[in-house]
């Protein structure tokens, strides 16, 4: 049977064969090796850093493959340097190629690290002490050991310095530093049993919220202090004075906090320290006093507790007593006449000047005269007192008895009503905030008494001499025949003579008046001449 070759003729455009694409990946790169040198014998652990390390098949130092390596990530390989000499290129090979960067590793004589000192040389058995290790060849350190125990942590500061935190331990151990180039010599470090520190007091116990107060801390076991804290805030600075004393500057703060000290032996108990607000003085009573001082003044306000000073102007109070946070009493010091501000200082600062803080120093009053200088024992005499600094009189006394009343007329004059008193002289004084004046004399006089007059009669024309007998006559100011005054002469306290004035026939009352009053009357009779 014949087959028609053209039964299924070919298409005009036969199918195209599938296309094959090849993905080309980048070769690895090496950017650094650490350390970059090691001994010719090899064996140094080396960290290789770069890119594209996934699938690495070889790490070579020159033409020599490393004896082993670990692929840590696409960018990091840990390997061991093989034996070698000179400076060689380190390469990484993957299925994608071999790195081409010129990163080298040098074979040569390597100096083993050395230690020259550790500081401090001891610490508590609980560990935690930061120790500074000094020496040479310390860069690249891989371990720090205290005896057989690794340091809690360490930091390479430079090729000559490493800091390490001591682990817990006991006794004396040897500290060593391990680097890829070997292990250093050992330096001794001693674990000491340090007693826990204690605090017994802080002084002062308070200060301003702004901080800056120098506080003395007393206790025991403070010599190795590494920190002083006010609450959770470190002191601005501190100085260890001895095993029992530390001086610390308080930081800023508020409220009451616990002061603690941390040493190698631990942290102390807490002692309270209060941040005080600035005091305010709002009242001064009395608000004036004598230049000599000595009077007690009550100050009111807020924040007065813990007062350390009270000043009148620039002069400290003679003494003061804190009554409560809102009140204290102070004894005023001497001062010059005039106005001063009273301030209170506490650990929180010094109160400001302002309303309610004024205090006046007042001059002591002076008296020069009293007029009249005498009056009846019954009192009631208005007496004019003259002197200086009288305007703010608070009391007038006749002896020990207060005046019935008084009125300040001016700084140089006042009037006072004499109280009742016993016959005799007393000192009149004036009291102000500046003190009590000198005294001037005032006499309380008893009313005069007449017991007789001789002769008891006389002519209508008067002009004759009559002798009056009695008591209290020495300070006679008037002799009256009825309502008519008579001329008189005082002979003594018990006698005076008088010349009766003319008058009508008949009896008339005769009286004597002194500063003590007017006497009871005695009778004098005028008689007409006989009739012829």
434 class by beta-carbon count within 10 Å (0-12 exposed, 13-18 middle, 19+ buried): buried
pLDDT tops 80 at residue 20 = no
Mean pLDDT of all residues in 12-16: 47
Question: Per the structure block, which two tokens stand in for 403?
Answer: 């005046």
Mean pLDDT of all residues in 235-259: 95
Q: pLDDT per residue over 46-81, tens digit each? A: 999 999 999 999 999 999 999 899 999 999 999 999
517 class by beta-carbon count within 10 Å (0-12 exposed, 13-18 middle, 19+ buried): middle
On average, the pLDDT of the chain sits at 90
pLDDT tops 80 at residue 246 = yes
Cα–chain center distance at 448: 72
When computed from its CA atoms, the radius of gyration of the chain, rounded to whole angstroms, is 57
pLDDT value at residue 62 = 95
Mean pLDDT of all residues in 92-102: 95
User: How far is 305 from 341, CA to CA, in rounded Å?
Assistant: 20
pLDDT value at residue 22 = 44
pLDDT value at residue 17 = 47
DSSP designation for 251:
-
User: How far is 110 from 91, CA to CA, in rounded Å?
Assistant: 23
429 pLDDT tier (thresholds 50, 70, 90): very high
pLDDT tops 90 at residue 210 = no
* Cβ-based neighbour number of residue 223 at 10 Å: 17
Least confident of 212-226, 255-269, 508-522: 255-269
pLDDT value at residue 192 = 80
CB contact at 8 A, 446 and 515? no
pLDDT value at residue 265 = 77
174 pLDDT tier (thresholds 50, 70, 90): very high
Give φ, ψ of 356 to 5 degrees: 90, 0
pLDDT value at residue 34 = 87
CB contact at 8 A, 47 and 26? no
pLDDT tops 90 at residue 12 = no
CB contact at 8 A, 253 and 183? no
Percent of the chain at pLDDT > 90 equals 74
pLDDT value at residue 125 = 86
pLDDT tops 60 at residue 2 = no
pLDDT tops 80 at residue 142 = yes
Q: pLDDT per residue over 469-500, tens digit each? A: 999 999 899 999 999 999 999 999 999 999 99
Mean pLDDT of all residues in 427-449: 93
Q: pLDDT per residue over 270-326, tens digit each? A: 999 988 888 999 999 999 999 999 999 999 999 898 899 999 999 999 999 999 999
pLDDT tops 80 at residue 138 = yes
pLDDT tops 60 at residue 16 = no
pLDDT value at residue 283 = 93
pLDDT value at residue 110 = 62
Q: Transcribe 180-193 into DSSP letters.
A: TTEEPPPEEEEEE-
Q: What are 366's strand-pairing partners?
A: 388
CB contact at 8 A, 307 and 344? yes
pLDDT tops 60 at residue 24 = no
109 pLDDT tier (thresholds 50, 70, 90): low
Mean pLDDT of all residues in 446-469: 95
pLDDT value at residue 463 = 94
Q: pLDDT per residue over 374-423, tens digit each? A: 899 999 999 999 999 998 899 999 999 999 999 999 999 999 999 999 98
Mean pLDDT of all residues in 203-207: 88
DSSP designation for 357:
-
């Amino acid at each position: 049977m014949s087959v028609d070759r053209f039964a299924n003729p070919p298409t005009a455009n036969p199918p195209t064969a599938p296309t094959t694409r090849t993905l080309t990946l980048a070769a690895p790169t090496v950017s650094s090796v650490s350390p970059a040198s090691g001994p010719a014998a090899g064996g140094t652990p080396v960290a290789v850093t770069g890119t594209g390390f996934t699938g690495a098949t070889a790490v070579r130092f020159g033409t020599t493959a490393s004896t082993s390596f670990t692929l840590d990530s696409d960018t990091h390989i840990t390997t061991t340097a093989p034996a070698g000499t000179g400076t060689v290129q380190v390469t990484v090979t993957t299925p994608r190629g071999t790195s081409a960067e010129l990163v080298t590793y040098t074979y040569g004589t390597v100096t083993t690290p050395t230690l020259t000192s550790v500081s401090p040389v001891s610490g508590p058995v609980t560990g935690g002490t930061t120790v500074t290790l000094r020496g040479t060849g310390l860069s690249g350190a891989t371990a720090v050991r205290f005896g057989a125990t690794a340091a809690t942590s360490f930091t390479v500061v430079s090729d000559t310095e490493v800091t390490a935190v001591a682990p817990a331990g006991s006794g004396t151990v040897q500290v060593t530093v391990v680097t890829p180039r070997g292990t250093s010599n050992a330096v001794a470090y001693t674990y000491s049993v340090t007693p826990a520190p204690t605090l017994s007091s802080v002084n002062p116990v308070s200060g301003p919220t702004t901080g800056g107060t120098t506080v003395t801390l007393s206790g025991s076991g403070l010599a190795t202090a590494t920190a002083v804290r006010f609450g959770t805030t470190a002191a601005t600075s501190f100085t260890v004075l001895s095993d029992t004393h530390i001086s610390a500057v308080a930081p800023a703060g508020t409220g009451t906090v616990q002061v603690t000290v941390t040493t190698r032996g631990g942290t102390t108990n807490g002692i309270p320290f209060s941040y005080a607000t600035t005091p305010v003085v709002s009242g001064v009573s009395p608000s004036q006093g004598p230049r000599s001082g000595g009077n007690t003044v009550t100050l009111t306000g807020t924040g007065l507790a813990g007062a350390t000073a009270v000043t009148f102007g620039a002069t400290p109070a003679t003494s003061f007593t804190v009554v409560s946070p809102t009140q204290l009493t102070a004894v005023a010091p001497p001062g010059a006449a005039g106005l001063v501000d009273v301030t209170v200082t506490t650990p929180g600062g010094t109160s400001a000047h302002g309303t309610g803080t004024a205090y006046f120093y007042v001059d002591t009053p002076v008296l020069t005269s009293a007029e009249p200088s005498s009056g009846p024992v019954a009192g009631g005499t208005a007496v004019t007192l003259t002197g200086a600094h009288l305007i703010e009189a608070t009391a007038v006394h006749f002896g020990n008895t207060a005046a019935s009343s008084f009125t300040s007329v001016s700084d140089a004059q006042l009037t006072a009503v004499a109280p009742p008193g016993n016959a005799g002289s007393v000192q009149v004084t004036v009291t102000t905030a500046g003190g009590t004046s000198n005294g001037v004399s005032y006499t309380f006089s008893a009313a005069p008494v007449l017991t007789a007059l001789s002769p008891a009669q006389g002519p209508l024309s008067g002009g004759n001499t009559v002798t009056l007998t009695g008591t209290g006559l020495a300070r006679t100011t008037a002799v009256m025949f009825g309502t008519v005054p008579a001329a008189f002469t005082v002979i003594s306290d018990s006698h005076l003579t008088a010349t009766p004035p003319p008058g009508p026939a008949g009896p008339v009352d005769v009286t004597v008046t002194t500063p003590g009053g007017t006497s009871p009357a005695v009778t004098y009779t005028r008689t007409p001449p006989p009739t012829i």
